[in-house]
Amino acid sequence: MKTLQNVTRSLALLAISLVPCACLDIELTTKVNGDGSLLRREIVSGDSAEVLTYGFISPVDSSWKVTIENVNEKTFERKAAKLFAGPEELSAVTRDSAWRTLPIRAQVDRRFIWFYTEITYRERYLKWNPFGLIPLAEYISQADLARSMRFVTPGWTPTREDSLVQERFSQKWSEWMYRDMFEAYYAEFMKGVKLQNDPSLTPAIVAAHKEEIFLRCEKWWASSVSMDTIVVVIQSILKNPKAGNAITANAIGFAAHNAKLALVAKIMGKLKQVSIEMPGVLIDSNSPKIEKSRGLWRGVAEMSYAADYELWMTSRVVNWWVVFLTALAILGGISLIFVGPGRRAT
């Protein structure tokens, strides 16, 4: 799955196509300070109604500073910011909250090199797919992923055959996401069927129509607003109006399922960019785009949906206190050379 981390743009475009068109743009930024503290910001852009009603991806509470700014006639920005003492504190706020935010693990490593200190910051976005019943490898091979990587290689021009292969790759990715969501729905539906214990609607009857249910509702599995429509289709396929009772019987399970769908809709296609700003002079990074000491990544939510995805940057800051002490030592040595002989002569 490590190869998957490099297919940012192509998979992002595929995953975005699976959810309703997003009218909100979200950016997450982390400013790394020289002392290891982290200033975390989230910026939500869109029209006033959407910006005000949208819940942040970050676990924003009263400890965050939230502001609203009117950018122009149609666009507003709602910003949330908080200074974290260190990476452990930032990581902790996303722990055990995978259904409402992107779980991350932040890490700051420092290497003292006399006049300089090298600082490496890592921000690992953990796999957040709330379903995860079907392995991606059953639909997309390592060879498929490796070939798809070429589409994000600068300066590479795909052939017609490459484009056809990428189109098939897109179809496999889409099928995997739909199938994974369907299997989660189907598991909850079967629980409801067993709970209501109706001889006219047994697990065996439902299982006999499983594939037909998937295919008839294939494009709706990613949408929480289509759940009522799906029930109607299932009743039609099973020729049993009591099929809807399985939803009621397993109300808790379906509430959890809808919460998972809501999480996907909340993040996928909306998180446009993640950026990290480092202190000092940047010396290395896995960012595809660099602006001075700032790295920018796109497709982070889509990439981390299927596997952990790590962003990292390394910069170098000057240890001015070392420079100062070294200068004092040098001056002291010089003074001993020139002043010392004079004192001995007297």
Closest alpha carbon to 185 in 216, 141, 145:
216
pLDDT beyond 80 at 250: yes
The answer on pLDDT for 5 being more than 70 is no
Instruction: Look up residue 23 and give its amino acid.
Output: C
Tell me what pLDDT residue 3 has: 43
Phi, psi of 85, rounded to the nearest 5 degrees:
-65, -30
> What pLDDT score does 120 carry?
96
Nearest-CA neighbor of 79 among 107, 97, 60?
A: 60
Is the pLDDT score of 140 beyond 80?
yes
pLDDT surpasses 90 at 186: yes
**pLDDT band for position 8 (50/70/90)?**
very low
Compute φ and ψ for 28, nearest 5 degrees: -105, 130
- Please provide the average confidence, as pLDDT, over all residues in the chain: 84
- Predicted pLDDT at 9: 47
Residue 340: both structure tokens together: 């010392």
Q: Report yes or no: 305 and 128 within 8 Å, Cβ to Cβ.
A: yes
What confidence tens digit (pLDDT) does each residue in 74-84 have?
A: 889 999 999 99
Considering Cα of 67, then 70, then 71, then 74, what sign does the dihedral take? positive
Lowest mean pLDDT, pick from 47-51, 81-85, 150-154: 150-154
